[in-house]
Amino acid sequence: MSYGRGNNYKGRKKFEKAAEASPAGDTSGDIIYGRNSVIEALRSGRSINKICFSGEMSGSLGMIIAEAKEKNIVVVKQSRQNLDELCGNVNHQGVAALVAAADYVDVDDILACAREKGEDPFIIVLDEIQDAGNLGAIIRTADAVGAHGIIIPKRRAVPLTGAVAKASSGAVSYVKVARVPNIVNELQHLKEEGLWITGTSDSGKTTFYNADLTGPLAIVIGNEADGMGRLVSEQCDFIVNIPMAGTVSSLNASVAAGVVLYEAFRQRSGKGNFKS
């Protein structure tokens, strides 16, 4: 039971291939097109989910791509037709930037938030969540349980789009989200900062309500199709399961997250992890 499992492996690969071919999954956020407009967006420091381009990487377009890569922004080459459709068939000059619905932060900003509040860090790590509704719902729950922030990967995962913001019911404006190149590296970083890493999977030997979810903690929620990746799972200090009595052996990713996060909230509230 990788909580949220429902798609098979082939279906997931088909999804990923389609996502690389078309930016449609990211189009519910703001779209900036035209070379000068994209250059200004890059230089202003706005949080950009992805830059899509068509044509040869020369002249000002080459400069845009180089600057985007320097800032670790995802860059994807599209067909002219796909870029036309993305921009509504306007004169986009071969480039468009998909701007995040909210600004991303650094992981250290999340840790600093906990320190400023005098609380043990409480962080949610999402391993390749691909559905905007799931991400939005998890952000909404994160706000409700007092989590200090969420960490998501830059690739093979939904970014902060308009659809995510809508599903979060506005919580995206209050919950800090860090978007990182490598989840495994960030889990190692969190360990160095003194956090315990708790994974969620049917392979867990302990039920979530019997685990100690107090203290400096990061809870990992896996991908909707396959749960946590192997390398991510290996970074967990312990893994918890959610027992189920029904016939269906999986839960929606955001529902599983809500169940475990509220148990953590209950335990942490009782032990004074949250300051009034």
**pLDDT digit string, tens, across residues 228-246:** 999 999 999 999 999 988 7
Cα separation, 164 vs 177, in Å, equals 12
Confidence tier at 275 by pLDDT (50, 70, 90): low
Q: Is the pLDDT of residue 146 over 50?
A: yes
Strand partners, 95: 53
Distances (CA, A) of 122 to 115, 142, 232, 233: 11, 10, 18, 19
Pairing mode, if any, of strands 149-153 and 177-180? parallel
Q: Is the pLDDT of residue 17 over 50?
A: no
Average pLDDT, the chain: 86
| pLDDT for the residue 88 | 87
CB of 198 closer than 8 Å to CB of 215: no
Number of alpha helices (DSSP H) and beta strands (DSSP E) in the chain: 10, 11
Type and span of the H or E element at 251: none
User: What CATH superfamily classification does 18-99 receive?
Assistant: Ribosomal protein L30/S12 (3.30.1330.30)
Average pLDDT estimate for 163-178: 92
Select from 3.30.360.10, 3.40.1280.10, 3.40.50.720, 3.40.190.10 the CATH code of 107-270.
Answer: 3.40.1280.10
Q: Is the pLDDT of residue 60 over 80?
A: yes
- Does 18-99 match 107-270 in CATH topology? no
Distances (CA, A) of 194 to 166, 188, 213, 233, 251: 34, 10, 14, 18, 30
Q: Is the pLDDT of residue 216 over 50?
A: yes
Confidence tier at 272 by pLDDT (50, 70, 90): low
Which structure tokens are listed for 154? 């830059």
Cα separation, 257 vs 244, in Å, equals 15
Q: Is the pLDDT of residue 197 over 90?
A: yes
Type and span of the H or E element at 108: helix 107-117
Average pLDDT estimate for 179-192: 96
Q: How far is CA 64 from the centre of its chain?
A: 25
pTM comes to: 0.81
Confidence tier at 29 by pLDDT (50, 70, 90): low
Residue 139: strand, helix, or coil:
helix
Q: How far apart are the first and last CA of the chain?
A: 37
Cα separation, 218 vs 190, in Å, equals 8
Confidence tier at 274 by pLDDT (50, 70, 90): low
Domain boundaries, the chain: 18-99, 107-270
CB within 8 Å of 156: residues ≥ 6 apart: 16, 128, 130
Higher pLDDT, 46 or 107: 107
Phi and psi, residue 125, nearest 5°: -115, 125
Q: In what order do the strands lie in the sheet with 122-126?
A: 177-180, 149-153, 122-126, 217-221, 196-200, 238-241, 206-207
Please report the DSSP string for 158-176 in residue order: --S-HHHHHHTTTGGGTS-
Confidence tier at 162 by pLDDT (50, 70, 90): confident
Cα separation, 62 vs 257, in Å, equals 41
Pairing mode, if any, of strands 48-53 and 217-221? unpaired
Type and span of the H or E element at 100: none
Q: Is the pLDDT of residue 270 over 90?
A: no
Q: Is the pLDDT of residue 247 over 80?
A: no
